[in-house]
Amino acid sequence: MDERAWWIWLQHGLGPGASKHRRIFETYASIEDFYRAGTEGWRLDGYFTKREILRLQSFSLEQAQAQLEYAEKLGQRVLTPDMGAYPQCLREIHNYPCVLYVKGTLPPVDFMLSIAMVGTRKATHSGCSIAHTMSYELAKAGVIVVSGGALGIDTQAHRGAVEAGGRSICVLGCGIDTDYLLTNASLREAVAVDGALVSEYPPGTQPMASNFPIRNRIISGLCAATVVIEAPIKSGAMITADCAGDQGRDVFAVPGSVQNPKARGTNALLQQGCAPATCALDVLRCYEGKYRIRIPQDPGVNVFPEPIPEPKQLPKREPPPKLSQEARTLYQVLSAQPKPIDELCACTGMQPGKLLSAATELELAGLAQASAGQRYAAM
Protein backbone atom coordinates (compact mmCIF):
# COMPACT_ATOMS: atom_id res chain seq x y z
CA MET A 1 0.00 0.00 0.00
CA ASP A 2 1.18 3.51 -0.84
CA GLU A 3 2.14 5.53 2.27
CA ARG A 4 0.03 8.43 1.03
CA ALA A 5 -3.11 6.34 1.55
CA TRP A 6 -2.65 6.75 5.32
CA TRP A 7 -2.88 10.53 4.94
CA ILE A 8 -5.92 10.26 2.65
CA TRP A 9 -7.63 8.06 5.23
CA LEU A 10 -6.79 10.54 8.01
CA GLN A 11 -7.99 13.56 6.03
CA HIS A 12 -11.27 11.84 5.26
CA GLY A 13 -11.84 11.11 8.94
CA LEU A 14 -10.92 14.51 10.34
CA GLY A 15 -12.22 16.56 7.41
CA PRO A 16 -10.58 19.42 5.48
CA GLY A 17 -9.36 22.30 7.63
CA ALA A 18 -8.91 20.19 10.76
CA SER A 19 -5.87 20.63 13.01
CA LYS A 20 -6.25 17.53 15.19
CA HIS A 21 -3.58 15.69 13.22
CA ARG A 22 -1.06 17.77 15.17
CA ARG A 23 -2.42 16.31 18.43
CA ILE A 24 -2.31 12.84 16.92
CA PHE A 25 1.42 13.17 16.24
CA GLU A 26 1.96 14.29 19.83
CA THR A 27 0.44 10.99 20.99
CA TYR A 28 1.34 8.51 18.26
CA ALA A 29 4.56 7.86 16.35
CA SER A 30 2.76 7.50 13.02
CA ILE A 31 -0.65 7.46 11.36
CA GLU A 32 -0.36 3.69 11.20
CA ASP A 33 0.00 3.52 15.00
CA PHE A 34 -3.03 5.77 15.34
CA TYR A 35 -4.98 3.58 12.93
CA ARG A 36 -4.15 0.44 14.87
CA ALA A 37 -5.30 2.02 18.16
CA GLY A 38 -8.82 1.58 16.82
CA THR A 39 -12.13 2.91 18.04
CA GLU A 40 -11.48 2.25 21.72
CA GLY A 41 -8.12 4.01 21.63
CA TRP A 42 -9.59 7.02 19.82
CA ARG A 43 -12.33 7.32 22.42
CA LEU A 44 -9.77 7.16 25.23
CA ASP A 45 -7.76 9.94 23.58
CA GLY A 46 -10.69 12.16 24.48
CA TYR A 47 -10.46 14.78 21.73
CA PHE A 48 -12.38 13.20 18.86
CA THR A 49 -16.07 13.80 18.23
CA LYS A 50 -18.46 10.92 17.61
CA ARG A 51 -18.78 12.07 14.01
CA GLU A 52 -15.01 11.99 13.49
CA ILE A 53 -14.76 8.50 14.97
CA LEU A 54 -17.61 7.34 12.73
CA ARG A 55 -15.89 8.78 9.65
CA LEU A 56 -12.59 7.14 10.60
CA GLN A 57 -14.41 3.82 11.01
CA SER A 58 -16.45 4.04 7.82
CA PHE A 59 -13.58 4.81 5.39
CA SER A 60 -11.17 1.96 4.77
CA LEU A 61 -7.52 2.01 3.74
CA GLU A 62 -8.55 0.18 0.57
CA GLN A 63 -10.89 3.06 -0.26
CA ALA A 64 -8.09 5.54 0.44
CA GLN A 65 -5.75 3.64 -1.87
CA ALA A 66 -8.42 3.55 -4.59
CA GLN A 67 -8.93 7.31 -4.22
CA LEU A 68 -5.20 7.86 -4.65
CA GLU A 69 -5.05 5.70 -7.76
CA TYR A 70 -8.09 7.40 -9.26
CA ALA A 71 -6.59 10.86 -8.75
CA GLU A 72 -3.37 9.79 -10.45
CA LYS A 73 -5.36 8.24 -13.29
CA LEU A 74 -6.89 11.70 -13.83
CA GLY A 75 -3.39 13.14 -14.13
CA GLN A 76 -3.31 14.69 -10.67
CA ARG A 77 -0.27 14.54 -8.43
CA VAL A 78 -0.99 13.65 -4.80
CA LEU A 79 1.23 15.31 -2.19
CA THR A 80 1.32 14.63 1.56
CA PRO A 81 3.21 16.51 4.32
CA ASP A 82 5.93 13.85 4.62
CA MET A 83 7.02 14.42 1.00
CA GLY A 84 9.78 16.80 -0.02
CA ALA A 85 7.58 18.27 -2.77
CA TYR A 86 4.98 19.39 -0.21
CA PRO A 87 5.46 23.16 0.37
CA GLN A 88 7.26 23.91 3.64
CA CYS A 89 5.43 27.25 3.92
CA LEU A 90 2.16 25.33 4.01
CA ARG A 91 3.47 22.73 6.44
CA GLU A 92 4.15 25.57 8.89
CA ILE A 93 0.51 26.64 9.28
CA HIS A 94 -1.50 25.26 12.19
CA ASN A 95 -4.11 23.38 10.16
CA TYR A 96 -2.06 22.33 7.14
CA PRO A 97 -3.88 20.02 4.71
CA CYS A 98 -3.09 16.31 5.01
CA VAL A 99 -3.39 15.91 1.25
CA LEU A 100 -2.89 18.17 -1.76
CA TYR A 101 -4.16 17.23 -5.20
CA VAL A 102 -2.21 19.05 -7.91
CA LYS A 103 -2.74 19.45 -11.65
CA GLY A 104 0.18 21.02 -13.49
CA THR A 105 3.50 21.89 -11.92
CA LEU A 106 3.45 23.42 -8.45
CA PRO A 107 5.85 26.40 -8.57
CA PRO A 108 8.61 26.54 -5.91
CA VAL A 109 6.76 28.73 -3.41
CA ASP A 110 9.40 28.10 -0.73
CA PHE A 111 12.08 29.76 -2.86
CA MET A 112 10.21 32.30 -5.00
CA LEU A 113 8.09 35.20 -3.80
CA SER A 114 4.42 34.22 -3.96
CA ILE A 115 1.64 36.75 -3.44
CA ALA A 116 -2.07 36.01 -2.99
CA MET A 117 -4.53 38.35 -4.66
CA VAL A 118 -8.14 38.15 -3.50
CA GLY A 119 -11.33 40.20 -3.66
CA THR A 120 -15.01 40.22 -4.43
CA ARG A 121 -16.60 38.20 -7.22
CA LYS A 122 -18.77 41.20 -8.13
CA ALA A 123 -15.89 43.59 -8.67
CA THR A 124 -16.20 46.98 -10.32
CA HIS A 125 -14.46 47.67 -13.62
CA SER A 126 -11.88 49.67 -11.68
CA GLY A 127 -11.26 46.77 -9.28
CA CYS A 128 -10.82 44.32 -12.15
CA SER A 129 -8.43 46.72 -13.87
CA ILE A 130 -6.33 47.11 -10.71
CA ALA A 131 -6.21 43.35 -10.16
CA HIS A 132 -5.22 42.62 -13.76
CA THR A 133 -2.53 45.30 -13.91
CA MET A 134 -1.05 44.52 -10.50
CA SER A 135 -0.97 40.79 -11.22
CA TYR A 136 0.64 41.40 -14.61
CA GLU A 137 3.32 43.57 -13.04
CA LEU A 138 3.99 41.15 -10.19
CA ALA A 139 4.30 38.22 -12.61
CA LYS A 140 6.67 40.21 -14.83
CA ALA A 141 8.79 40.85 -11.73
CA GLY A 142 9.09 37.10 -11.12
CA VAL A 143 6.34 36.70 -8.52
CA ILE A 144 4.02 33.68 -8.30
CA VAL A 145 0.42 34.93 -8.19
CA VAL A 146 -2.01 32.84 -6.12
CA SER A 147 -5.80 33.15 -6.11
CA GLY A 148 -9.00 31.14 -5.91
CA GLY A 149 -10.31 30.88 -9.45
CA ALA A 150 -13.61 32.70 -8.84
CA LEU A 151 -15.14 35.47 -10.94
CA GLY A 152 -14.14 39.09 -10.50
CA ILE A 153 -10.82 39.81 -8.77
CA ASP A 154 -9.64 36.17 -8.80
CA THR A 155 -10.17 35.88 -12.54
CA GLN A 156 -8.23 39.06 -13.28
CA ALA A 157 -5.40 38.01 -10.94
CA HIS A 158 -4.94 34.71 -12.77
CA ARG A 159 -5.42 36.29 -16.19
CA GLY A 160 -2.86 39.03 -15.57
CA ALA A 161 -0.23 36.49 -14.48
CA VAL A 162 -0.88 34.22 -17.46
CA GLU A 163 -0.79 37.10 -19.95
CA ALA A 164 2.53 38.23 -18.47
CA GLY A 165 3.97 34.78 -19.12
CA GLY A 166 4.30 34.22 -15.38
CA ARG A 167 3.27 31.51 -12.96
CA SER A 168 0.01 31.28 -11.08
CA ILE A 169 -1.60 28.88 -8.61
CA CYS A 170 -5.37 28.42 -8.50
CA VAL A 171 -6.55 26.96 -5.17
CA LEU A 172 -9.98 25.38 -5.57
CA GLY A 173 -12.72 24.61 -3.06
CA CYS A 174 -13.78 21.46 -4.92
CA GLY A 175 -12.27 18.53 -6.76
CA ILE A 176 -9.97 19.61 -9.59
CA ASP A 177 -11.94 17.45 -12.02
CA THR A 178 -15.28 19.05 -11.10
CA ASP A 179 -17.10 21.28 -13.60
CA TYR A 180 -16.75 24.37 -11.42
CA LEU A 181 -17.39 27.72 -13.09
CA LEU A 182 -17.25 26.54 -16.71
CA THR A 183 -16.73 30.12 -17.93
CA ASN A 184 -13.25 29.95 -16.40
CA ALA A 185 -12.39 26.44 -17.61
CA SER A 186 -10.00 27.68 -20.32
CA LEU A 187 -8.34 30.06 -17.85
CA ARG A 188 -7.73 27.22 -15.40
CA GLU A 189 -6.17 25.18 -18.19
CA ALA A 190 -3.90 28.12 -19.01
CA VAL A 191 -2.89 28.44 -15.34
CA ALA A 192 -1.94 24.74 -15.25
CA VAL A 193 0.47 25.10 -18.21
CA ASP A 194 3.23 26.82 -16.20
CA GLY A 195 1.55 26.81 -12.79
CA ALA A 196 -0.89 24.59 -10.97
CA LEU A 197 -4.44 23.90 -9.89
CA VAL A 198 -4.43 22.84 -6.24
CA SER A 199 -7.10 21.40 -3.94
CA GLU A 200 -7.28 19.48 -0.69
CA TYR A 201 -10.58 18.05 -1.88
CA PRO A 202 -10.46 14.68 -3.67
CA PRO A 203 -11.73 14.14 -7.22
CA GLY A 204 -15.49 14.38 -7.53
CA THR A 205 -15.98 16.78 -4.60
CA GLN A 206 -18.65 19.31 -5.56
CA PRO A 207 -18.15 23.08 -4.96
CA MET A 208 -20.25 23.48 -1.82
CA ALA A 209 -20.35 26.96 -0.26
CA SER A 210 -18.88 25.68 3.02
CA ASN A 211 -15.73 24.46 1.23
CA PHE A 212 -14.44 27.87 0.22
CA PRO A 213 -13.80 29.53 3.60
CA ILE A 214 -11.91 26.36 4.62
CA ARG A 215 -9.91 26.54 1.39
CA ASN A 216 -8.85 30.15 1.97
CA ARG A 217 -6.16 29.26 4.54
CA ILE A 218 -4.29 27.43 1.77
CA ILE A 219 -4.33 30.51 -0.49
CA SER A 220 -2.68 32.62 2.22
CA GLY A 221 -0.54 29.74 3.50
CA LEU A 222 1.21 29.36 0.15
CA CYS A 223 2.21 33.03 0.15
CA ALA A 224 4.44 35.55 1.85
CA ALA A 225 1.64 38.10 1.62
CA THR A 226 -1.99 38.58 0.65
CA VAL A 227 -3.22 41.60 -1.30
CA VAL A 228 -6.93 42.39 -0.86
CA ILE A 229 -8.65 44.30 -3.68
CA GLU A 230 -12.29 45.35 -3.26
CA ALA A 231 -13.81 43.31 -0.44
CA PRO A 232 -16.98 43.89 1.56
CA ILE A 233 -16.62 43.57 5.33
CA LYS A 234 -18.16 40.10 5.34
CA SER A 235 -16.51 38.27 2.47
CA GLY A 236 -14.25 35.39 1.60
CA ALA A 237 -11.44 37.82 0.83
CA MET A 238 -11.57 39.14 4.39
CA ILE A 239 -11.47 35.57 5.68
CA THR A 240 -8.31 35.05 3.64
CA ALA A 241 -6.82 38.23 5.11
CA ASP A 242 -7.61 36.94 8.61
CA CYS A 243 -5.95 33.62 7.75
CA ALA A 244 -2.84 35.45 6.53
CA GLY A 245 -2.65 37.44 9.77
CA ASP A 246 -3.09 34.32 11.89
CA GLN A 247 -0.32 32.63 9.91
CA GLY A 248 2.07 35.51 10.49
CA ARG A 249 2.03 36.54 6.84
CA ASP A 250 1.82 40.11 5.52
CA VAL A 251 -1.45 41.69 4.43
CA PHE A 252 -1.78 44.55 1.94
CA ALA A 253 -4.99 46.37 1.03
CA VAL A 254 -5.82 48.49 -2.00
CA PRO A 255 -7.48 51.74 -0.85
CA GLY A 256 -10.97 52.31 -2.21
CA SER A 257 -13.61 55.01 -2.30
CA VAL A 258 -15.54 55.49 0.92
CA GLN A 259 -18.66 55.52 -1.28
CA ASN A 260 -17.92 52.05 -2.64
CA PRO A 261 -19.47 49.35 -0.39
CA LYS A 262 -17.15 46.81 -2.01
CA ALA A 263 -14.17 48.70 -0.58
CA ARG A 264 -15.33 48.78 3.03
CA GLY A 265 -13.34 45.67 3.88
CA THR A 266 -10.12 46.93 2.32
CA ASN A 267 -10.47 50.32 3.97
CA ALA A 268 -11.11 48.61 7.31
CA LEU A 269 -7.88 46.63 6.85
CA LEU A 270 -6.00 49.88 6.30
CA GLN A 271 -7.49 51.32 9.49
CA GLN A 272 -6.26 48.21 11.31
CA GLY A 273 -2.70 48.91 10.18
CA CYS A 274 -2.34 46.82 7.03
CA ALA A 275 0.05 48.19 4.44
CA PRO A 276 -1.51 50.08 1.51
CA ALA A 277 -0.86 48.80 -2.00
CA THR A 278 -1.55 51.30 -4.75
CA CYS A 279 0.55 49.45 -7.31
CA ALA A 280 2.74 46.36 -7.64
CA LEU A 281 5.82 48.38 -6.73
CA ASP A 282 4.43 48.99 -3.22
CA VAL A 283 4.47 45.23 -2.69
CA LEU A 284 7.74 44.48 -4.48
CA ARG A 285 9.74 47.01 -2.46
CA CYS A 286 8.86 45.19 0.76
CA TYR A 287 10.64 42.04 -0.44
CA GLU A 288 13.64 43.55 -2.20
CA GLY A 289 16.75 41.66 -1.11
CA LYS A 290 14.72 38.78 0.36
CA TYR A 291 13.75 37.17 -2.95
CA ARG A 292 15.06 37.21 -6.49
CA ILE A 293 12.62 39.63 -8.04
CA ARG A 294 12.98 42.19 -10.82
CA ILE A 295 12.21 45.69 -9.58
CA PRO A 296 12.24 48.67 -12.02
CA GLN A 297 15.48 50.63 -11.60
CA ASP A 298 13.78 54.00 -11.97
CA PRO A 299 10.48 54.10 -10.07
CA GLY A 300 9.66 57.31 -11.90
CA VAL A 301 9.43 55.50 -15.22
CA ASN A 302 6.35 53.42 -15.87
CA VAL A 303 7.79 50.25 -17.38
CA PHE A 304 4.56 48.35 -16.91
CA PRO A 305 1.45 48.37 -19.11
CA GLU A 306 -1.23 50.94 -18.62
CA PRO A 307 -4.35 49.82 -16.74
CA ILE A 308 -7.20 48.40 -18.78
CA PRO A 309 -8.98 51.43 -20.25
CA GLU A 310 -12.61 52.05 -19.52
CA PRO A 311 -14.65 50.75 -22.47
CA LYS A 312 -15.96 53.33 -24.88
CA GLN A 313 -19.65 53.76 -24.21
CA LEU A 314 -22.11 53.72 -27.06
CA PRO A 315 -25.10 56.01 -27.01
CA LYS A 316 -27.73 53.43 -26.10
CA ARG A 317 -31.26 53.47 -27.33
CA GLU A 318 -33.95 52.33 -24.94
CA PRO A 319 -34.29 48.54 -25.18
CA PRO A 320 -37.65 47.19 -26.37
CA PRO A 321 -40.09 46.84 -23.47
CA LYS A 322 -40.75 43.18 -24.33
CA LEU A 323 -37.20 42.17 -23.31
CA SER A 324 -36.82 40.07 -20.18
CA GLN A 325 -35.43 41.71 -17.04
CA GLU A 326 -32.21 39.69 -17.45
CA ALA A 327 -31.73 40.96 -21.01
CA ARG A 328 -32.34 44.56 -19.91
CA THR A 329 -29.82 44.18 -17.07
CA LEU A 330 -27.20 42.76 -19.43
CA TYR A 331 -27.85 45.48 -22.00
CA GLN A 332 -27.02 48.17 -19.44
CA VAL A 333 -23.48 46.84 -18.89
CA LEU A 334 -22.55 46.15 -22.52
CA SER A 335 -20.25 48.57 -24.33
CA ALA A 336 -18.52 48.89 -27.70
CA GLN A 337 -15.63 46.82 -26.36
CA PRO A 338 -16.47 43.09 -26.27
CA LYS A 339 -16.46 41.67 -22.75
CA PRO A 340 -15.97 38.01 -21.75
CA ILE A 341 -18.75 36.11 -20.01
CA ASP A 342 -16.97 35.96 -16.64
CA GLU A 343 -16.71 39.76 -16.51
CA LEU A 344 -20.35 40.18 -17.52
CA CYS A 345 -21.41 37.67 -14.86
CA ALA A 346 -19.46 39.66 -12.28
CA CYS A 347 -21.06 42.94 -13.41
CA THR A 348 -24.63 41.65 -13.52
CA GLY A 349 -24.59 39.02 -10.78
CA MET A 350 -26.14 36.51 -13.19
CA GLN A 351 -25.19 32.86 -13.54
CA PRO A 352 -23.56 31.90 -16.88
CA GLY A 353 -26.63 30.00 -18.13
CA LYS A 354 -29.00 32.92 -17.56
CA LEU A 355 -26.50 35.37 -18.99
CA LEU A 356 -26.11 33.38 -22.21
CA SER A 357 -29.89 33.25 -22.60
CA ALA A 358 -30.07 37.02 -22.09
CA ALA A 359 -27.25 37.55 -24.60
CA THR A 360 -29.06 35.45 -27.21
CA GLU A 361 -32.22 37.49 -26.61
CA LEU A 362 -30.27 40.71 -27.20
CA GLU A 363 -28.67 39.31 -30.36
CA LEU A 364 -32.08 38.41 -31.79
CA ALA A 365 -33.25 41.95 -30.98
CA GLY A 366 -30.24 43.42 -32.79
CA LEU A 367 -28.87 44.98 -29.60
CA ALA A 368 -25.77 42.83 -29.05
CA GLN A 369 -23.12 41.11 -31.08
CA ALA A 370 -21.11 38.00 -30.16
CA SER A 371 -17.42 37.64 -31.03
CA ALA A 372 -14.77 34.93 -30.61
CA GLY A 373 -14.29 33.49 -27.14
CA GLN A 374 -17.89 34.11 -26.07
CA ARG A 375 -17.45 37.87 -25.80
CA TYR A 376 -20.33 40.28 -26.22
CA ALA A 377 -20.57 43.93 -27.21
CA ALA A 378 -23.42 46.39 -27.66
CA MET A 379 -24.59 47.31 -31.15
Q: What is the DSSP track for 101-156?
A: EEEE----TTTS-EEEEEE-SS--HHHHHHHHHHHHHHHHTTPEEEE---TTHHHH
C-alpha to C-alpha distances, 353 to 161, 319, 373, nearest whole angstrom: 27, 21, 16
- Does residue 316 fall inside a structural domain? no
- Could you tell me the pLDDT band of residue 311, with boundaries at 50, 70 and 90? very low
Q: State the residue range of the domain holding 368.
A: 323-376
For residue 330, the model assigns a pLDDT of 84
Tally of CB atoms within 10 A around 150: 26
pLDDT > 50? residue 244: yes
Same domain, 29 and 130: no
User: Is residue 300 included in any domain, yes or no?
Assistant: no
Is 317 inside a domain boundary? no
For strands 275-276 and 144-147, give the pairing: unpaired
pTM: 0.78
Residue 314 lies in a domain: no
Q: Is residue 291 part of a domain?
A: no
pLDDT band at 372 (very low <50, low <70, confident <90, very high): low
Q: Tell me the per-residue pLDDT of 25-60, one tens digit each, with 9 for 90 and over.
A: 999 999 999 999 998 998 988 888 899 999 999 999
End residue of a domain, out of 237, 253, 284: 284
Indicate whether 120 belongs to any domain.
yes
Same domain, 225 and 340: no
Percent of the chain with pLDDT over 90: 67
Structural domains in the chain (count): 3
- pLDDT of 315 > 60? The answer is no
